[in-house]
Amino acid sequence: MLLCVSALCKAQDTLRFPINEMKGVRIGIDVSDVPFMFIDNFERIGFGVTADAHIKGNFFGTAEAGWLKVDLDRSDFRYRSEGYYGRVGADYNMLKSRRPFSNDIVYAGGRYCFSTFNHQADNVHVPGHFWQNASGLSIPKNRLSAHWAEILLGVKAEVLTNLYVSMTFRLKFMLISPKDNYSTPHLIPGYGNGGESFVIGINYFLSYNVQF
């Protein structure tokens, strides 16, 4: 009898329920930029969307897109930029669920990313160390593009039926940086600091599973 109880407890401890295959498409919005809008007094405004769908086994295909506008008005310059970004890739669910029919996932993934945007600067003031100051300079509006790759770790938790809260930790590696003879971009949409070849980022999403 003791042997039977011991074997049953061990079986229950090692039991793993299969993860329920998600049906339809999970569509969400990126809420990461919302706090920055208020902190920066709306000098930076951004919006992003995401969609992912179960492919096979533990793999999910995913796509993301977004828009970013920056308007910095300082005493010695005014800088403006606006553009779009896109990301495509796949995620692998590493979670072995203990709950039946669970749609929660803990995942690792990769993305190919690109951005196209324009930027310009007006009323630039350059202090002179040996000669007189230069003021009223301008950097002409220029269309730029960038390409980079991302490695991700993240979690998606189903807080209500079909409603998910997600967090994604990203390592971003610049592949093709934007070329501008006048100025380095302040922010690249979807990437971050235009002067860095490696950037770390965190995104937060609210998503809903639209079932077909």
pLDDT surpasses 50 at 78: yes
Q: Measured between alpha carbons, how far is residue 7 from residues 1, 4, 12, 148 in Å?
A: 10, 5, 9, 52
Residue 171, φ and ψ in degrees, nearest 5 = -110, 120
The enclosing H or E element of 38 equals helix 34-39
Domain count, the chain: 1
Q: What is the pLDDT of residues 112-161, one digit of tens each?
A: 999 999 998 887 766 655 555 556 677 788 899 999 999 999 999 999 99
In a domain, 4, yes or no: no
Cα gap 199→197, rounded to integer Å: 7
Q: What is the pLDDT of residues 79-125, one digit of tens each?
A: 899 999 999 999 999 987 656 667 889 999 999 999 999 998 887 76
In a domain, 18, yes or no: no
In a domain, 12, yes or no: no
Q: What is the pLDDT of residues 148-163, one digit of tens each?
A: 999 999 999 999 999 9
What domain range is 136 assigned to? 25-97+108-210
* Percent of the chain predicted with pLDDT > 90: 58
- What does the pLDDT average to over 190-200? 95
In a domain, 206, yes or no: yes
Predicted structure pTM score? 0.83
Show Cβ contacts of residue 196 under 8 Å, excluding neighbours closer than 6 positions.
174
In a domain, 1, yes or no: no
Q: What is the pLDDT of residues 34-63, one digit of tens each?
A: 887 888 888 899 999 999 999 998 999 999
Q: What CATH number corresponds to the domain at position 179? A: 2.40.160
